[in-house]
Structures are given as structure tokens and as C-alpha cells.
Chains A and B, each alone.
Chain A
Amino acid sequence: MKRLSIYFLIGILFGIIMIKSEAASWFRIYEMFQFKSFHMFGIIGAAVTLGVITTQAIKQLKLRSFFGKEIKIDSKANLIKAPLFGGIIFGLGWALAGACPGPIYVLIGAGYFPILVVLFFAILGTYCYGWLKPRLPH
């Protein structure tokens, strides 16, 4: 239970960051795909730059977690078609709804309730992927 509350607190922090950085703003996502502002690229670029440094430091220095265990970072499955085709489909949805999965939860809290429609159909879309998975190229 104690550990679950840690993740709850990390989630609260994440929610605040998404709203305050405007990464959950439909307008910001639209502007990003128009290449008219550095804002979103700066956010993603800064996060990835610091993320690379942290992740590589953890791996090289074999750093331990807060709970004392060595941190294992597995790579995702080495596929090409699935991330490309899936990525394109997600990109279409991201630019239309203006939200990726993280901001969907955040926007519910912020009171933009039509995002619940997006959430419901995102769950349905995930279900359909699971159903069609054996027939899709990966």
C-alpha cells in the first residue's frame, strides 16, 4: 500500500506538470505539428536529453533503486513494422484529439469532460488492437 501511494504522488506531480507546461493543450499540439513554436520540441527535447543522461548513468554505474535493488531497464521488442504502423495511427489520433494517453487522464481532472469520449474510444481501440493482433504485420 505504501508503495502504491508513492506512485499516486508521482502521478499527481505528472498531472501538474502536464497542465502547467501546456503539454496537455490541444492548441500546443496543433502548433507543434505546424512547426510554429519551439515550445513542445523544447519540452520533449529537454526531457529526452536529461532522460538519456539518467538512463545511461543508471546502466553504466549500475545504480540502485530507492528500494535497494539494481535497476533493470529492458529494451522494447526489436520490431520495425509495429512501431512504424502503430506510430502513424497514434500520430493521426494525437493530432486530432490533441492529447496522448497521459494528458487524457490529466484533462479529466482539469474538468474538460468531453475527453472522457476520447478515453472510452481509446480503450475500445486498444481492445480492437488486441483482437486483430494475430492478423497484423509486426
Chain B
Amino acid sequence: MNLLTEPWPWYIGGPAIAVVLMLLLFTEKRFGMSSNLKTLCTIAGAGKKISFFNVDWRQHKWNLMVGLGAVVGGSIAATYMSDGTVGAIHKDVVVELNEMGVYGAGEAYMPVAFFGNEAFTNPKTLGLLALGGFLIGFGTRYAGGCTSGHAISGLSNLQLPSLIAVIGFFIGGLLMNHILLPNLL
């Protein structure tokens, strides 16, 4: 197994995420990536009209730096740390997705139809990406955190609201995946 170029198994990836959580705790911060969406609203001037956004964004500069680093890290990993192979996706999933017209499972990192540049000229795809984004932004702030803030950071702190949030993530996710998505694609 070549860790530099091949995809990582869960037992490398999971502990590595815990290391990120630890590094942030030991640098006096909490792991939570959705807060940046709120900070970006504040920077865009949303605080003038809505008091929820009327906060000092400079206090959240550190998190914007984590986000900016994530962009750079994503670029480094995709450019220099990938031999183009992806982990195997379960064959039932591949068949099911192909039947729904979503190709590339187990062959590409992302479905080209959604995340290749052709998506920009497909109104339906743009609509789905927009809807997904809107739900992500609205839901994470309403819930008070996302996968990093609630599922990783919050559960690690044994917080009941985080457990409720994670149950909510799965209720919504299963509803979309099993019932809505087959009708949307």
C-alpha cells in the first residue's frame, strides 16, 4: 500500500481526522467548518440587517485560515498525491447508480455529470447543486454545526445536542438517498 498516492483505508483516515481535532484543541480552537459560512455572511455585510450576523468576524479569522488551507490541501492531494485510483464502491451501488444515470462509481473520485465543468451548462444539475447547498447552509446553522462540529467535535465532547444532530443528519440523509434522490435524478 502506497499511502502517498493510493486512497487511504478508514483506519488511516479516521485517526487522521482525530489528529486534526487534537491539533485544533491544543491550539485553543474547536473543530467546526460550517461556522465559516456564517463568517462569510458577516464579511458580506449581513450584520447590518440581521443581528445574528452582527459579530466580530476577526475572531473567526483562524477558521477562515483552516478553510483556506483546506482548499490548498485539496489541491495538493488531488494534484500530487493521487495516482488516479479510487477505492472500490460496492457493486450494488455501482449498478444502482448506473441505472439512475450516474456514472463513474469506483472509477472516478466524483460523478462527472455533477462535478465536471459540463454541470455549469445543465440547468437541472445546477438546480440540484443549488438546492443541496442551500439545505447544507440552512441546516448546519440551524443545527448549530455540521459533520465536524457535531459528529466529530460534539460527540467527542459527549454532548446530547450533537447526538440529536447526528441522528437528524441520518434521518435527512436516508430520506434524500432512498426516497427523494431516485426521483430527482
List A residues at the B interface (Cβ < 8 Å).
3-34, 36-52, 54-56, 58, 63, 65-67, 69, 71, 73, 75-80, 82-102, 104-115, 117-131, 133, 136
List B residues at the A interface (Cβ < 8 Å).
3, 7-30, 33-34, 36-38, 40-41, 44, 46, 50, 52-53, 61-63, 65-78, 81-82, 86-87, 89-90, 92-93, 96-97, 104-106, 109-111, 114-117, 119-120, 125-126, 128-148, 150-162, 164-178, 180-181, 184
A8 engages B22 (CB within 8 Å): no
A44 engages B70 (CB within 8 Å): no
Taking the closest CB of chain B, its distance from the CB of A126, in whole angstroms, is 4
B74 engages A52 (CB within 8 Å): no
B73 engages A13 (CB within 8 Å): yes
Chain B interface SS verdict (over half): helix
* CB-defined contacts of B14 to chain A, threshold 8 Å: 21, 42-47, 50
Known A25-B110, A91-B139: A20·B13 in contact at CB below 8 Å: yes
CA distance A7 to B66 in the complex (A): 5
B13 engages A83 (CB within 8 Å): no
* CB-defined contacts of A85 to chain B, threshold 8 Å: 142-143, 168
Given contacts A33-B177, A99-B132, 11 further A-B contacts (CB under 8 A): A7-B65, A11-B67, A21-B14, A26-B114, A46-B17, A47-B21, A54-B22, A76-B145, A76-B161, A96-B135, A125-B135
CA distance A124 to B139 in the complex (A): 12
B13 engages A76 (CB within 8 Å): no
A121 engages B134 (CB within 8 Å): yes
Of the candidates B18, B158, B169, B172, which one forms a contact with A46 in the assembled complex, judged by CB atoms under 8 Å apart? B18
* CB-defined contacts of B82 to chain A, threshold 8 Å: 19
Known A42-B14, A117-B126: A12·B28 in contact at CB below 8 Å: no
CA distance A109 to B76 in the complex (A): 8
